[in-house]
């Protein structure tokens, strides 16, 4: 076996039904086969899953995004983890490109669940010995896990995409103050100024933007809106409206997780000033849900490299959300 390569005889690589294209690209990067997973439903709608290769004594990697339908995909993941544990896998790695329950990270109302912590506990109980995800909604979610977790960053692929464009007269705008630090790192790496929206969430589909913090907007003609996740598009729509009123002529929208529920993609694409929407492939969108304004960049290389280094017991700090390069 070549130095720095995974041993196909020692590794088993599987995926659930949520994002097979990304899993295939990660496996291709690693030079290992994507082993089959047989998934079906009984007549009472219960799931039936069988892993299509022996995992005994091996390092098992299971790729599954918790994209809609999130509950079904979570159940698939837990069953696959449990299967690998019951079949005597040596290590079981849950590779979760999009951890949707990370948004439920605090108790901000009576009698509700901190579901991100609950799901973290369930994954460990099901058999995961290690987890890997990308751009968790908030840093504290990392601390909900009792197993080792690698929180990866999508910024390198997004930065690479925008470095090939004319960035003159452009300001990076965080959709809300909670993501201002992440947007500031993104802007710094691109050599751009930064601003942020002052957002109040009213409901899952309604937000209020009371203003934009930062003076750079008035000096620029283009805004690069930066967010970790876009679902209904309510936040991006509202801040886009304010930016247009402030004199912005063109808007690029960039996010890690392009979930685009309830017509969110069409809603944003209908705004004439929004000329491009860039998302990574942590969430798989079928062909009929795509739009000409949407451009997808792949994070397969980041996950593949993180898995390779993990396998070789090498540092992956520079791939983290708060990586070594950013700490300098």
pLDDT digits 0-9 by tens, 122-179: 999 999 999 999 988 777 888 899 999 999 999 999 999 999 999 999 999 998 877 7
Please state, as a whole number, how many other Cβ atoms lie within 10 Å of the Cβ of residue 16. Answer: 23
CATH architecture for the domain at 155-297: 3-Layer(aba) Sandwich (3.40)
pLDDT at 1: 55
- Predicted pLDDT of residue 3: 65
Catalytic residue IDs: 199
Give percent of the chain with pLDDT exceeding 70. Answer: 92
**Which pLDDT belongs to residue 88?**
98
Q: How confident is the model at residue 76 (pLDDT cuts 50, 70, 90)?
A: very high
Tell me the sheet residues that pair with 50: 38
What's the pLDDT at 206? 57
Alpha carbons 211 and 177: distance in angstroms, whole number: 11
What is the pLDDT averaged over residues 114-124?
95
pLDDT of residue 210: 54
The CATH 3.40.50.2020 domain(s) of the chain lie at 11-154+300-327, 155-297
Which one, of 292, 284, 280, 286, lies nearest residue 254 by Cα?
Answer: 280
Identify whether the C-beta of residue 275 lies closer than 8 Å to the C-beta of residue 244: no
How far apart CA 259 and CA 281 sit, in angstroms, is: 10
The answer to whether residue 323 scores a pLDDT higher than 70 is no
**pLDDT tens digits, 285-317:** 999 999 999 999 999 999 999 999 999 999 998
Q: What is the mean pLDDT of the chain?
A: 91
Q: How would you classify the pairing of strands 250-258 and 274-280?
A: parallel
Predicted local confidence at residue 2, as pLDDT: 63
Q: What is the per-residue pLDDT for 105?
A: 85
pLDDT per residue as tens digits for the range 178-227: 778 888 999 999 999 999 877 665 555 555 555 677 667 888 899 999 99
Residue 50 has pLDDT above 70, yes or no: yes
- Residue 37 has phi, psi (to 5 degrees) of -125, 125
Query: What was the pLDDT predicted at 33?
Result: 97
Tell me what pLDDT residue 324 has. Answer: 46
22 CB-near residues (< 8 Å, 6+ apart): 63, 65, 97, 281, 282, 284, 298, 299, 300, 303
Given pLDDT bands bounded at 50, 70 and 90, which one contains residue 328?
Answer: very low
Q: What is the pTM of this model?
A: 0.91
Nearest to 58 by CA among 105, 103, 9: 9
List the one residue out of 94, 103, 42 whose CA is nearest residue 65: 94
Q: Where are the beta strands (DSSP E) in 104-249?
A: 130-134, 149-152, 170-174, 194-201, 207-213, 222-230
Q: What is the DSSP letter of 321?
A: T
For residue 178, what pLDDT is reported? 75
Topology (CATH level 3) of domain 11-154+300-327: Rossmann fold (3.40.50)
Where does residue 295 rank: exposed (0-12), middle (13-18), buried (19+ CB within 10 A)?
Answer: middle
Closest CA to 150 of 5, 311, 261, 325: 311
């Amino acid at each position: 076996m070549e130095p720095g390569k995974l041993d196909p005889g020692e590794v088993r690589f599987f995926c659930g039904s949520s994002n097979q294209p990304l899993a295939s690209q990660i496996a291709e990067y690693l030079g290992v086969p994507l082993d089959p997973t047989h998934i079906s439903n009984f007549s009472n709608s219960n799931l039936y899953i069988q892993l299509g290769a022996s995992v005994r004594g091996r390092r098992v990697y299971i790729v599954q995004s918790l994209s809609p339908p999130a509950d079904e995909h979570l159940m698939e993941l837990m069953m696959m983890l449990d299967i690998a544990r019951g079949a005597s896998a040596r290590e079981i790695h849950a590779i979760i490109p999009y951890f949707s329950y990370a948004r439920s990270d605090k108790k901000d109302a009576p009698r509700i669940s901190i579901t991100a912590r609950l799901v973290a506990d369930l994954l460990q109980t099901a058999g995961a010995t290690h987890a890997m995800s990308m751009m968790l909604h908030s840093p504290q979610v990392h601390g909900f896990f009792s197993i080792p977790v690698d929180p990866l960053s999508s910024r390198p692929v997004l930065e690479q995409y925008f470095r090939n464009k004319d960035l003159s007269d452009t300001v990076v705008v965080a959709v809300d103050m909670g993501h201002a630090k992440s947007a500031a790192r993104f802007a710094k790496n691109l050599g751009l100024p930064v601003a942020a929206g002052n957002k109040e969430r009213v409901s899952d589909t309604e937000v209020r933007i009371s203003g934009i913090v930062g003076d750079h907007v008035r000096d620029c003609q283009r805004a690069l809106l930066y967010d970790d996740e876009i679902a209904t598009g309510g936040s991006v729509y509202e801040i886009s409206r304010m930016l247009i009123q402030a004199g912005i002529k063109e808007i690029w929208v960039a996010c890690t997780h392009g979930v685009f529920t309830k017509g969110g993609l069409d809603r944003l694409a209908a705004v004439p000033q929004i000329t491009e929407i860039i998302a990574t492939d942590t969430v798989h969108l079928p062909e009929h849900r795509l739009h000409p304004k949407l451009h997808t960049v792949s994070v397969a290389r980041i996950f593949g490299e993180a898995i390779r280094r993990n396998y070789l017991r090498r540092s992956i700090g520079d791939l983290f959300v708060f990586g070594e390069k950013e700490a300098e």
